[in-house]
Amino acid sequence: MTKKKETDSENISRMKAALDLYDNAPCGSVSFRKDGMIFDLNTTLSNWLGYNKNEIINKITLPSLFKIGGQIFFETHFFPLIQMQGFIKEVYFDILKKDKTILHGLINVREIPESDDQPVTYQATILDISDRWHFESALLKAKQKAEADSKAKAEFLSTISHEIRTPLNSILGIGNLLHKTPLNKNQKEYARLLLHSSEHLLSLVNNLLDLSKIEAKKIILERVDFNLYDLTTILQQTFSVKAKEKGIDLIVNIEKEVPMYLIGDHVKLNQILTNLIGNAIKFTKQGSVSLSISATNVNQSEVRLDFTVSDTGIGIPKEKLESIFQEFSQASYDVSVEFGGTGLGLTISKKLLELHNSTLTVTSELNVGSNFNFSIEYPKSENINSKKDISLLITEEHSFSSYHVLLVDDNPDNIFIAEQYLNQWDVEYKSAESGLQALTLLEKHNFDLILLDLQMPYMNGYETAKKVREMSLDKSPIIIAFSASTKGEVKEQLKEAGINDHLPKPFQPKELYEILLRYHHTSHNNKITTSPLEIKTVKKKTTEKNNVKPVSKKTESFNLARFEKMANNKPEYLKKFRLSTLDAIISYQKDFQKAITERKVAKLSELIHKSTMSLYYIAAEPLSELLKECRLILAEDSKNETLLTAKVNECNNEFTCIINGLREA
Amino acid sequence: MKSANDIDKIFNINILGNGTRPMLFAHGYGCDQNMWRFLYPHFESDYKIILFDYIGAGKSDLSSYSLEKYDSLKAYSEDIITICKHLELKDVIFVGHSVSAMVGVLASIKAPELFSKLILIGPSPRYINDGDYIGGFEEADIQELLDTLDSNYLGWSRAMAPVIMGNSDRPQLGEELTNSFCRTDPEIAKNFARVTFLSDNRADLDLVTVPCLILQSKKDVIAPKQVGEFTAKSIKNSTLKILEASGHCPNLSAPEVTAKAIKAYL
């Protein structure tokens, strides 16, 4: 009897303790039905939330305590998963308290299966992780900031590289042209060095750009049909000169099983192989460099190709084998001094291979040689008619007779350079300095192909192309866009505008030639008469000496010396340069006034960027400096209005001076 | 050009059912084709069932995604047309949940010849209230939702996969069922959310010519009743049916009711 009493009271106190634990446990507890309706919760949770229990029970559903994102998530993911597996562990939710502040909670749920007459219910335990949440948020923020900073740096790098490419375009173009003019021996050597260095600079800038694009994940793999044998033939042709110069053999060894037609990104493959073969030749003084390709794992539709580039060069010390793939690291400082290069090629190759889910491996022995090895899986192409690589056609002779090209670019210098090439290849062309002008020309003349700059004021390249496509022309021309944009042209956008192809600036004459050839080749199968890549020497025309004198003013607001040089003794070019610059300067002054009146730093920056080349060509340093000073003043929070007014006046004086000067000249 | 095989892989296309008339099921935001698992079996005997994942969802090809391309619902609607053309579908019955309803609307405007009927489950042409228009959300709500996604802290952007191990009381939870859990790439989901919740397709509704059935849950936090009514009023030739179901996914929470309503309409 006494024993039973004791047991009862023990039981009661145990139950009390259990209830007490449930109600005051250090975690929240809530029970809900299938429709989410809460039918019980413990005191801890009701205290946390700031509700009385009776304000919640049978009145509020569990998801309605979440913010909207949480509600959607609960419905689409959380609850279905509970139903599927009967429990869920530690999922984070923002839980809204009565006072609308947030409880950061981890929720565990378990299903209480139906029994007797009781339908299925769910019991959730909630842990308050606010402290942890704050720490994690701080960490996340720091991580985001670090990532944003790194992205900003990558973008800065990319922008700067592009900025460098634009003037480089002119340097390369002029260098190419200069090289082909009659020069004495010394001058010829200078021109060669100029060309060589600017090509080197371009490849450096291109590498930086590639790397920043890869880092910014802006590079995607193309899937196109290509001919592997064409690709290797071109590689062999490209490198044969260099190999011969150094007296080493260049061997390409492709196993019989390797299929000719594949689907994949041949541009990236070419880039990887170019890097590896280029390096191999660079670091090999005698012996040979070889590219071997073998096929394994061949099935009906896919093939795995193993590529090996081996050399008998200086080799890589063991301890450097890992670091050679890092940015800007060559095996040693001396290496970079002796052999040149940026040390970016391997990094880029490795990253391009990562895009292919592949890796680049290296084995090397000092003073014996190195082997670089990678594998890529390609689907086989059934399209055995895949286009013959146009580079192979270059060695053939070709004539562009009766091929009509329209050149559209708002920058007269770019037009001038492109015109020189077109002249040399005997391509018939007309030039327009705006989209509108191009449309007018198209109404009167037939063109086979349009070379179209994308970034033009008023009507940009995209708009121009769309308008061209809307015209009912007898013959719809091919449109090739060219641009040095920082954003990179989006294929869809180009396609949507009806643009057929794209040539990034700065381009080498060879690239322009190739693209002309490609489209000419597809439209005609012309008889071949001249050898175009051997750019014909510009015939020296004995034009009378230029009468236009450099305009000299007190501190010389500008002069035309640069244009005179570029015009190459052709007064008509000089006039064209002068007048187009005049138009540009007049519009820049308007833009300037607008930016100042509206107090818009961004507009002024845009103007400064836009006008850089024009001001450079006419050597308008004072104006260029003054514009930058205005920007500085404008960017300050507490603007010095007096100083600003003074500088604006000076700018306007310079503008007037240049405009009058250009008119008079 | 993408080869036929590619398109099947890119969108993880699955074709089921014994019928010939095609029913194309397009899943909603944050989900994949698994969201139809309780619904499509009701139609298997009479229809050809086509399931797919949008790029970024389920087992689609993530590498085919690009931020630039998928910056509006238009790109998703073009994918629908691509799939229909690739499978040479005709007289398609399009079943779209949530945002997919609008994707279907856009596809049907662009290529009305492909579709015979649209079944729109919980459609919303605009989620944000605008003057007299009730979308169910204030701009701040949506911004908050997008911020939540950005903060990468909500469970759906974390590894939230079912656990198979140690679940002996549920022997039916095999690998197959585990795989039926909706998956979505968190980065793409963020952008998709932006495209979805900031879209405004009210003006497009007038242009729909294909007959529509609009299914609306009695209680839906994401697309309230007024939105269903607005959609029904704006689309000519449409029927609105309020389902005895609660929640935004009647196809998950009340598949029988949903199937019955669709069958009655067809």
Question: Looking at the predicted structure, is the pLDDT value of residue B148 above 80?
Answer: no
Confidence at residue B182, expressed as pLDDT on a 0 to 100 scale: 58
Chain A residues closer than 8 Å to B169 by CB? 86
Mean pLDDT score of chain A? 80
What is the fold of A135-215?
A: Helix Hairpins (1.10.287)
Q: What band does B21 get if pLDDT is binned at 50, 70 and 90?
A: very high
Inter-chain touch B156–A75, beta carbons under 8 Å: no
Question: Looking at the predicted structure, is the pLDDT value of residue B230 above 60?
Answer: yes
Average pLDDT over residues A209-233: 80
Confidence at residue B176, expressed as pLDDT on a 0 to 100 scale: 44
Inter-chain touch B153–A140, beta carbons under 8 Å: yes
Nearest to B68 among A92, A140, A490 (CB): A490
Inter-chain touch A140–B137, beta carbons under 8 Å: no
Written as one string, the DSSP assignment of A55-67 is HHTTT-BSGGGB-
Average pLDDT over residues A384-406: 60
Average pLDDT over residues B31-40: 86
CA distance B152 to chain A (A): 9
The yes or no reply on domain B4-125+199-265 and CATH 3.40.800.10 is no
Q: Does B248 qualify as catalytic in the annotation?
A: yes
Lowest mean pLDDT among A151-165, A381-395, A547-561, B34-48: A381-395
Nearest to B252 among A80, A136, A492 (CB): A80
Among A27-36, A152-161, A463-472, B161-170, top mean pLDDT goes to A27-36
Lowest mean pLDDT among A188-192, A485-489, B145-149: A485-489
Which has more confidence, B195 or B159?
B195
Confidence at residue B11, expressed as pLDDT on a 0 to 100 scale: 93
- Token reading at A88: 């869920």
Nearest to A75 among B141, B178, B249 (CB): B249
**A163 Cα distance to chain centroid:** 14
- Look up tokens 């080799």; give the residue: A315
- Token reading at B63: 């590498």
Among A82-91, A255-264, A384-393, A414-423, top mean pLDDT goes to A255-264
**Distance (Å, whole) CA A95 – CA A27:** 14
Burial (CB count within 10 angstroms: exposed 0-12, middle 13-18, buried 19+), residue B140: exposed
- Whole-number percent of chain A with pLDDT over 70: 87
Question: Looking at the predicted structure, is the pLDDT value of residue A386 above 60?
Answer: no
**Distance (Å, whole) CA A622 – CA A609:** 16
**Distance (Å, whole) CA B46 – CA B56:** 30
Mean pLDDT score of chain B? 82
Question: Looking at the predicted structure, is the pLDDT value of residue B206 above 70?
Answer: yes
CA distance A85 to chain B (A): 7
Given a contact cutoff of 8 angstroms between Cβ atoms, the answer to whether A333 and A325 are in contact is no
Which has more confidence, A538 or A623?
A623
Confidence at residue A545, expressed as pLDDT on a 0 to 100 scale: 37
A644-647: list long-range contacts, CB under 8 Å, 24+ apart.
A644/A596
Domain boundaries, chain A: 17-128, 135-215, 224-379, 391-523, 561-664
**Distance (Å, whole) CA B22 – CA B48:** 5
Question: Looking at the predicted structure, is the pLDDT value of residue A340 above 60?
Answer: no
Q: What band does A68 get if pLDDT is binned at 50, 70 and 90?
A: confident
**Distance (Å, whole) CA A328 – CA A166:** 24
Among A428-437, A461-470, B206-215, top mean pLDDT goes to B206-215
Nearest to B154 among A63, A73, A140 (CB): A73
Inter-chain touch B162–A85, beta carbons under 8 Å: yes
Chain B residues closer than 8 Å to A140 by CB? 151-153
Give the best residue of B29, B156, B190 to mutate against chain A (max A CB count within 10 A).
Answer: B156
Question: Looking at the predicted structure, is the pLDDT value of residue A507 above 80?
Answer: no
Nearest to A72 among B2, B30, B169 (CB): B30
User: Nearest chain A Cα to B69, which residue?
Assistant: A492
Inter-chain touch B153–A70, beta carbons under 8 Å: no
Chain A residues closer than 8 Å to B137 by CB? 68
Inter-chain touch A85–B151, beta carbons under 8 Å: no
User: Coil, strand or helix: which one is A39?
Assistant: strand
CA distance A131 to chain B (A): 15
Give the list of residues 6+ apart from residue A169 with CB closer than 8 angstroms, or none: A414, A417, A484, A505, A506, A507
Inter-chain touch A70–B154, beta carbons under 8 Å: yes
CA distance A526 to chain B (A): 28
Which residue in A443, A492, A448, A488 sits closest to A470, CA to CA?
A: A443
Question: Looking at the predicted structure, is the pLDDT value of residue A337 above 50?
Answer: no
Selecting among B60, B98, B100, B124, the annotated active-site residue is B98
How far from each other are the two terminal CA atoms of chain A, in whole angstroms?
126
Query: Which A positions 46-105 lie with beta carbon below 8 A of chain B?
Result: 63, 67-73, 75-78, 80-81, 84-86, 89, 91-94
Confidence at residue A342, expressed as pLDDT on a 0 to 100 scale: 60
Give the best residue of B70, B184, B221 to mutate against chain A (max A CB count within 10 A).
Answer: B221
CATH number of A224-379: 3.30.565.10
* CB atoms inside a 10 Å sphere around CB A397: 14
CA distance A74 to chain B (A): 10
Confidence at residue A537, expressed as pLDDT on a 0 to 100 scale: 31
Confidence at residue A489, expressed as pLDDT on a 0 to 100 scale: 52
Peptide bond into A113 cis (omega under 30): no
Question: Looking at the predicted structure, is the pLDDT value of residue A298 above 80?
Answer: no
Inter-chain touch A68–B221, beta carbons under 8 Å: yes
Residues A229-256: tens digit of each pLDDT: 888 887 887 788 888 888 899 999 998 8
Confidence at residue A137, expressed as pLDDT on a 0 to 100 scale: 79
User: Coil, strand or helix: which one is A265?
Assistant: coil
Confidence at residue B154, expressed as pLDDT on a 0 to 100 scale: 46
Query: Which A positions 451-490 lie with beta carbon below 8 A of chain B?
Result: 490
Inter-chain touch B144–A68, beta carbons under 8 Å: yes
Provide residues of B within 8 Å CB-CB of chain A. 2, 6, 28, 30-31, 35, 63, 66, 68-69, 137, 141, 144-145, 148-149, 151-156, 158, 160, 162-163, 167, 169-170, 173, 177-178, 180-182, 221-222, 246-249, 252-253
Confidence at residue A384, expressed as pLDDT on a 0 to 100 scale: 53
Give the best residue of B32, B79, B99, B154 to mutate against chain A (max A CB count within 10 A).
Answer: B154
Inter-chain touch B247–A75, beta carbons under 8 Å: yes
Question: Looking at the predicted structure, is the pLDDT value of residue B219 above 90?
Answer: no
Give the list of residues 6+ apart from residue A25 with CB closer than 8 angstroms, or none: A42, A44
- Token reading at A103: 């409880």
Does residue A137 belong to the interface with chain B, where contact is any CB pair within 8 Å?
Answer: yes
How far from each other are the two terminal CA atoms of chain B, in whole angstroms?
36
Nearest to B155 among A71, A78, A220 (CB): A78
Q: How many residues are present in chain A?
A: 665
Selecting among B32, B79, B204, B220, the annotated active-site residue is B220
> Which amino acid is it at A308?
T
**Distance (Å, whole) CA A612 – CA A624:** 8
User: Coil, strand or helix: which one is B52?
Assistant: coil
Inter-chain touch B221–A71, beta carbons under 8 Å: yes
Class of domain A17-128: alpha beta
- Token reading at B186: 């968190």
**Distance (Å, whole) CA A3 – CA A327:** 82
Given a contact cutoff of 8 angstroms between Cβ atoms, the answer to whether A384 and A261 are in contact is yes
Confidence at residue A9, expressed as pLDDT on a 0 to 100 scale: 86
**B57 Cα distance to chain centroid:** 11
Inter-chain touch A67–B152, beta carbons under 8 Å: no
Question: Looking at the predicted structure, is the pLDDT value of residue A554 above 50?
Answer: no
Residue A110 host element (H or E): strand A102-112
Q: State whether the Cα torsion B28-B33-B38-B40 is positive or negative.
A: positive
Strand order in the sheet with A249-254: A249-254, A288-296, A302-311, A369-379, A361-365
Chain B residues closer than 8 Å to A86 by CB? 167, 169-170
* Angle at alpha carbon of residue A120, lines to A116 and A125, rounded to 5°: 125
- Token reading at A119: 């339908």
Inter-chain touch A85–B163, beta carbons under 8 Å: yes
User: Nearest chain A Cα to B183, which residue?
Assistant: A77
HSE, side-chain direction, 13 A CA sphere, residue B35:
32
> Which amino acid is it at A85?
Q
Average pLDDT over residues A508-519: 78
Name beta bridge partners: B238. B212
Q: What band does A534 get if pLDDT is binned at 50, 70 and 90?
A: very low
Residues A472-483: tens digit of each pLDDT: 777 788 898 887
What is the fold of A391-523?
A: Rossmann fold (3.40.50)
Inter-chain touch A81–B181, beta carbons under 8 Å: yes
Which has more confidence, B151 or A151?
A151
